[in-house]
Copies of this chain bind each other. A is one copy, B any other.
């Protein structure tokens, strides 16, 4: 057992860094009732600039925490992308427009831009409802993980010792020693945690240098409120509209002058210089910058991934600490938040004693592969975007068609919708054939369903909130027919047996739906369906029965079975992980299979 000296602090999870990855993790853990502490070196929360675009999948994730509303309310929505290329008569002309998001199943088919401070505030408010605040002006100075196998294998042991320095206190009171069961390093691209663990970043920088400016321009450019990719003879530029009338411009600059050994000498360039470059690439449109520059920076594109994400499943790194890439693909903040969305429920399950500590291995397995895919995509995209446009005098340049094709091919990727987790103890593709189009390892495809008791239409994603529970979605077909009703009765019976996974893995004295939330989606028409036809053992509340029918107002709904590829007679049970990813599928009489599946990831 770990001896904790007098005067030292204890915490179940210590999070270092209150950026998007850190606050997402803290929110998830605080909501799960986990004892969590989050520290940050900054005195205040970030007030402008930095990351911008929220992808469609990230909006879905935020909504799974009930947090998408403020984002949708205060953020700018990017629906359309516009492409400008050199015109034969000089200057640029619009080659075309296309949907910014090309993932057909996206629930929110647009990106949202909102400054990072506002996004973090959404989480700070949510954490604060659970009594968790960020401890600020604190830096870690040392971190040690126990090497004792007995301690490392005890999920409740305080295996990590961290020394903190409180910057704002008098010198003699600055040091604090903290013992934590688990530590997350969400401390950015220059991560102290990563360096302390000696984890290398693999990959390299490119030669591309870009400037970024946030301001309100005056212009007659008709696509100033669209995501516009401009390839001109005078360089490349990207327009990202933001909240209010603010626009972010990404401006390609000649690198030779500013870069030495991959490091930018920012003193050699000014935002005025960037805006002059931009003005030239907008010709024949006029653009001027009469308003305040809210934020600006210069950066060299680099694409690198951490060699490991964890030490002994006790200390983890997430977000920019694990991966750096081009901001133009709008991936940074999204990848970061999705890292810890993947991690937090797993830590909660281990701390609750529901799962073995080995569950935490799936974090690196799933998220590091994603980061590598991201870097590979980013290399291709950044090269295309930074390359010279094709023109009469440059036939090797990048053509509009090439660029558009890349833009659309990578739609699933840039939207975050196509993220696919490979097979593991958690992800079992065995019964993929029972729901042919609902890929095991991907997020549950949004669809509108109608509630049996009151005909209220709702997106099926609303039935799988990020509340740390596994969701069992039952698809029994038409429950007004004796055949399908009987199958549901048999299932109720099997799940009620003392030997069933549901009874075994739900802690004694806990509510029946503490670990497994069961929701039925039938096909009985809304005018006829009775929610009372679903056996009580499968229905913890009247709101747990839905039907795959069009909403009363028409237009949407009634396409779940078809979209998922589920037979209305054979049916299926779809298992959705707490983070919203489909992790297994069983036949309606597949309780035995589910016993086996859950025995691989849950404890009694």
Contacts and interface: CB of A to CB of B under 8 A. Distances in A.
A109 interface: yes
Contacts of A68: none
B77 A241 contact: no
9 contacts: A79-B551, A96-B527, A97-B528, A222-B531, A225-B454, A225-B531, A226-B455, A245-B542, A555-B555
Given A226-B454, A453-B226, A80 B241 contact: no
A532 B453 contact: no
A549 to B, nearest CB: 11
A80 B454 contact: yes
A185 to B, nearest CB: 36
Contact of A555 (B527, B532, B556): B556
Interface in A65-106: 69, 76-80, 96-97, 99
Contacts of A531: 222, 225
Residue among A455, A526, A528 with the most chain B CB within 10 A? Answer: A455
Interface in A527-552: 527-528, 530-533, 542, 551-552
A458 to B, nearest CB: 10
Given A80-B455, A225-B542, 7 more contacts: A79-B454, A79-B551, A97-B455, A97-B526, A109-B553, A225-B453, A226-B453
B456 A224 contact: no
Nearest to A221: B532
Contacts of A241: 454
Contacts of A451: 225
Interface string A96-133: 11010000000001100000000000000000000000
A527 B96 CA distance: 7
A570 interface: no
A220 interface: yes
Interface in A549-604: 551-553, 555-556
Nearest to A542: B225
A528 B530 CA distance: 49
A222 B528 CA distance: 10
B555 A78 contact: no
A77 B456 contact: yes
A222 B524 CA distance: 14
Contact of A542 (B224, B457, B555): B224
Contacts of A109: 552-553
A563 to B, nearest CB: 15
Interface of A is mostly: loop
A159 to B, nearest CB: 42
Interface string A439-477: 000000000000101111100000000000000000000
A80 B552 contact: yes
A103 B385 CA distance: 51
A78 B110 CA distance: 30
A221 to B, nearest CB: 8
A527 B454 contact: no
A455 B552 contact: no
Nearest to A457: B79
Contacts of A80: 454-455, 526, 552
Contacts of A76: 454
Residue among A78, A109, A456, A552 with the most chain B CB within 10 A? Answer: A552
A454 B110 CA distance: 11
A553 B79 CA distance: 9
A122 to B, nearest CB: 16
Contact of A552 (B69, B99, B221, B222): B99
Given A97-B527, A527-B96, A224 B555 contact: no
Contacts of A533: 222
A271 to B, nearest CB: 23
Contacts of A220: 532
Contacts of A245: 542
B552 A454 contact: no
A190 to B, nearest CB: 35
Given A97-B527, A527-B97, A456 B79 contact: yes
B455 A79 contact: yes
A55 to B, nearest CB: 15
Contacts of A226: 453-455
Contacts of A532: 220-222
A69 B224 CA distance: 30
Contacts of A78: 454
A99 B550 CA distance: 12
Interface in A39-81: 69, 76-80
Interface in A187-239: 220-222, 224-226
Nearest to A245: B542
Contacts of A221: 532
A226 B533 CA distance: 16
A31 B551 CA distance: 36
A528 B99 CA distance: 13
Contacts of A556: 555
A186 to B, nearest CB: 31
Interface in A395-454: 451, 453-454
The 5 closest A-B pairs by CB, nearest first: A222-B530, A80-B455, A225-B454, A225-B453, A79-B455
